[in-house]
A and B are shown apart, each in its own frame.
Chain A
């Protein structure tokens, strides 16, 4: 029997892997992918909560499923903006490695 806890554990792990990717990876494109992973972890937990929160009438609580559609859209917009910034930076610097981007420093 797969319970809510199992879903939450998977989503927590996905979030942790995504965050570790953002912190450890040096290529901006990979970092963008890791960011997507973090957003999708939230999607998974929202859908799981929605499935396991049954209303009095026996239907799932659909609020969270609507929320997920919004998150998918937002994630797409975020990647579009992120890639645009990466392209702008690549034209000026010819690199996608975060370690080379050090014009602004303390």
Chain B
């Protein structure tokens, strides 16, 4: 086995000032995380002040991301600034911004400073992931994100279910990242480099050795875990149900968006020559048939198991498995069109899911649970939350004119056109069938909200300001889901323009 590494890029010497300028969003978030942690440690137990600091910090970071140069590439791809990366840094920061008010309005949350610091450190992981096109940095980003999320999932130390969710997430997550790491080591071994574009070039030159195929499969396993695609989804229901609600919302949104951005870059840039073919009559080995199989399995399993759920958070978890399947369709289709469809859908989905979790949070605070019977009579108790929840549920089900419909439409049409001679039609049919099945359980949630009689009495009502913060977040998220449904081109075109 003699693989010669090519000439290494020689841009290793950058002044620290330039580095700080280009990495300013990450640097700002780290500083704010430390500031929030200090505020939390000084004994101030109020939830509002650290929250305000975190929000201000994230807004500043968004502003600096917008002012970054158009293109830059440091250390052979470790920090890449491109329109696509900057756009998704902003999306990740916006998702973190939407999660902060959830954490602030969570009444059971002790040590809010520590919690928000973990949230912000997780956000740094998201930014590193989105902003790098090099396997070492991607691994570091995955771990920074993962370690923060494990802590966030296990944060409620009075609740055995939260600790259990944290443990399960940790065990599955660490095993998956060990798989990814071993896969990366094989990919490095064959190609002699960790920069994605160089790996792609090296592979295009010759045939693909079997060891590299093993490397690809093992790398994909780690990402299939992160996006909760079946059969690597086993952690998702327990974590979504057991973790504190803001953690579950962040795990379901931010971590998924970043994972899809990176997975897309890895398969479409790094592993591009090992594409294979997922078309029904002309299957060729490669990563695309693997992703197609994961997608089909996720769609079927997620939707059918979701039918049997009686807990809304578990239902959202199984529906998340199904949505991971739909989102993979774009990557299987490949190309600019497929990748932008995937990115559009995962962004829409993340916004919707944070909103849905925010409503679940309100219901849980008021009735002490998040089963279907706790949602009964929500329409009469709180018409506003009920209306927003129906927007989120119908968008997840993919009904027009909400954002979820256009997301699915872009995805399915990209998959339909790809693969030569409509070869991916089988996958589109599976996905359409899955969305049809999913309508049942989303409407079941709405039936509980609007039709079922109010069995559980309201036990607590949140203090005024926290209730207001939660309601304002939900209103903004619901409005953006409706607006992106009416004007999907606003986001879709920004994404399509930035995809190289």
- Interface, chain A (partner B; CB < 8 A): 4-5, 8, 15, 18-19, 22, 28, 31, 35, 38-39, 41-42, 45-46, 48-49, 52-53, 55-56, 61, 63-64, 66-67, 70-71, 74, 77-78, 81-82, 84-86, 88-89, 91-93, 98, 101, 103-104, 106
Task: Give the chain A neighbours of B426 by CB distance below 8 A.
Answer: none
Number of A-B contacts (CB under 8 A): 128
Query: Does B175 contact A35, Cβ atoms closer than 8 Å?
Result: yes
Q: Give bound CA distance, A8 to B210, whole Å.
A: 14
A67 partner, pick from B4, B8, B179, B188, beta carbons under 8 A: B188
Q: Interface stretch among B36-44, B161-169, B415-423?
A: B161-169
Contact B238 A104 (CB under 8 A): yes
List the B residue with the shortest CB-CB distance to A43: B185
Assess whether B237 is interfacial by the CB under 8 Å rule: yes
- The reply to whether the CB of B170 lies closer than 8 angstroms to some CB of chain A is yes
Cα of A42 to Cα of B222 in the assembled complex, Å: 14
Return the chain B residue nearest A37 by Cβ.
Answer: B178
The answer, among A39, A46, A81, A82, for a CB contact under 8 Å with B178, is A39
Complexed CA–CA distance, A67 and B140 (Å): 10
For residue B139, CB closer than 8 A to chain A, the reply is yes
Residue of A nearest to B155 (CB): A88
Chain B nearest CB from A15 CB (Å) reads 6
Q: Min CB distance, A73 to chain B, in Å?
A: 9
Which positions in B face A, CB cutoff 8 Å?
A: 1, 3-5, 8, 136, 139-140, 143, 147, 150-151, 154, 157, 160-161, 163-168, 170-171, 174-175, 178-179, 181-182, 184-186, 188-189, 192-194, 211, 237-238, 241-242, 305
Q: Which of A41, A91, A93 contacts B182 (CB 8 A)?
A: A41
Q: Of the candidates B175, B188, B237, B242, which one forms a contact with A22 in the assembled complex, judged by CB atoms under 8 Å apart?
A: B175
A47 to B322, CA, bound (A): 39
A38 to B174, CA, bound (A): 10
Residue among A5, A77, A92, A104 making CB contact with B241, cutoff 8 Å: A104
Contact A74/B161 with A45-B182, A86-B167 known, Cβ cut-off 8 Å: no
Closest Cβ of chain A to B320, distance in Å, is 15
- Quick check: B160 and A92 within 8 Å, CB to CB? yes
Contact status A53-B3, CB under 8 Å = yes
The reply to whether A103 and B242 form a contact with Cβ atoms under 8 Å apart is yes
Q: Are A81 and B188 in contact (CB under 8 A)?
A: no
